[in-house]
Amino acid sequence: GLRIGVLALQGDFREHLRAVEAAGATGIGIRRPAELDDIDGLIIPGGESTTIDKLARIFDLADPLRKHIASGLPVYGSCAGMILLANDIADPATDLAGNPQETFGGLDITVRRNAFGRQRESFETDLDFKGLEFSAREHGVDPVHAVFIRGPWVERVGPGVEILAQVEPDKARHTDTLHGLARIVAVRSGQLLATSFHPEVTGEKRVHELFIRMIRGEA
Ligand code: GLN
């Protein structure tokens, strides 16, 4: 069967490991560079992107990860994982020495961190999500129930990046944060998939199933 790594440095990697197993693949926590050589795909979990960035550099995982992404390893990032896959951050955090946080990159997007507001602005909404036709029932594809916890949104998509889902302007907790615009919260480019929200915490299996289909070349 498929072996899917979950970057297990910080954040909700346990939930992703569970979601991977529920979707029928084998989940493997990744903490060392050599473990990257033995997987069919990788998930970067939600958490704190600055912390995951720092730990990845300390554990010598950042450069190997960049190389694997560049050579076509399928990767799915949720929330902090989306930030870490983005080529550009609109508002990167800086450390005490003034160095901006880094990303692994690979996805030609610009993200804005904590874009929907702070913790108390966390919200849930139903999204139409492209690419889930495999799960259609008689009435069509059920919406994805999405949980946003200090999530980013995507402010720019480069050529070749497909928009899979957006939050409509009237759907966020504080709609004024959206400035009347639909905000992009799920994208795909080649073998890279990213969501601003956390399907791993709601029992929603289809985003992980989509990722597994991407790995198999079925989507
Ligand atoms: N705000 C966090 C960050 O910038 C992401 C939040 C999350 O992953 N739930 O890393």
Q: How many angstroms does the Cα of residue 84 sit away from the middle of ligand 1?
A: 10
Rounded to the nearest integer, the mean pLDDT of the chain is 94
Q: What is the pLDDT of residue 170?
A: 76
**Is 114's C-beta closer than 6 angstroms to any atom of ligand 1?**
yes
Give the residue numbers of the binding site for L-glutamine.
47-49, 113, 149-150
In this predicted structure, the answer to whether residue 184 has a pLDDT above a threshold of 80 is yes
pTM, to two decimals: 0.95
Name the burial class of residue 34, with classes exposed (0-12), middle (13-18) and buried (19+) by CB atoms within 10 angstroms of its CB: exposed
Ligand 1 atom closest to 47 (CA):
8
The amino acid present at 26, given as its one-letter code, is T
Give the residue numbers of the binding site.
47-49, 113, 149-150
Question: Can you read off the two tokens belonging to residue 7?
Answer: 């970057």
CA dist., res. 134 & res. 68, Å (int):
28
List 15, 68, 200, 204, catalytic entry: 200
Measure Cα distances from 110 to 34, 78, 218 in Å: 30, 15, 28
Query: Average pLDDT, stretch 25-39?
Result: 97
When pLDDT is cut at 50, 70 and 90, the band that residue 116 belongs to is: confident
In this predicted structure, the answer to whether residue 16 has a pLDDT above a threshold of 90 is yes
Distance of alpha carbon 141 from its chain centroid, rounded? Answer: 21
Name the residue among 170, 161, 200, 173 with its Cα closest to residue 119: 173
Q: Could you tell which of 44, 114, 200 is best to mutate to test the pocket of ligand 1, judged by most ligand atoms within 8 Å of the CB?
A: 114
* In the block, residue with structure tokens 């080529």: 87
Q: How many CA atoms lie within 13 A of 102 on its CB side?
A: 13
Q: What is the pLDDT of residue 172?
A: 67
Q: How many angstroms does the Cα of residue 15 sit away from the middle of ligand 1?
A: 15
Measure Cα distances from 32 to 1, 45, 85, 186, 200 in Å: 22, 16, 19, 28, 23
Question: Can you read off the two tokens belonging to residue 216?
Answer: 């198999």
Question: Can you read off the two tokens belonging to residue 197?
Answer: 């929200």
Positive or negative torsion for Cα 34, 38, 40, 43: negative
In this predicted structure, the answer to whether residue 111 has a pLDDT above a threshold of 90 is yes
In this predicted structure, the answer to whether residue 121 has a pLDDT above a threshold of 80 is no
Measure Cα distances from 184 to 51, 68, 110, 157, 173 in Å: 24, 26, 11, 9, 16
Q: How many angstroms does the Cα of residue 2 sit away from the middle of ligand 1?
A: 28
**Is 208's C-beta closer than 6 angstroms to any atom of ligand 1?**
no
In this predicted structure, the answer to whether residue 177 has a pLDDT above a threshold of 70 is no
Question: 43 — phi, psi (to 5°)?
Answer: -115, 130
* In the block, residue with structure tokens 């490991």: 17
Atom 5, ligand 1: residue with shortest CA distance:
80
**ipTM reported for the complex, 2 dp:** 0.92
- The 10s digit of each residue's pLDDT in 44-66 is 999 999 999 999 999 999 999 99
Query: Average pLDDT, stretch 81-107?
Result: 96
In this predicted structure, the answer to whether residue 132 has a pLDDT above a threshold of 70 is yes
Name the residue among 28, 181, 19 with its Cα closest to residue 112: 181
Domains and CATH numbers, the chain: 3-216 (3.40.50.880)
Q: What is the pLDDT of residue 167?
A: 94
Q: Is 15 a catalytic residue?
A: no
Question: Can you read off the two tokens belonging to residue 67?
Answer: 């190389």
**Is 84's C-beta closer than 6 angstroms to any atom of ligand 1?**
no
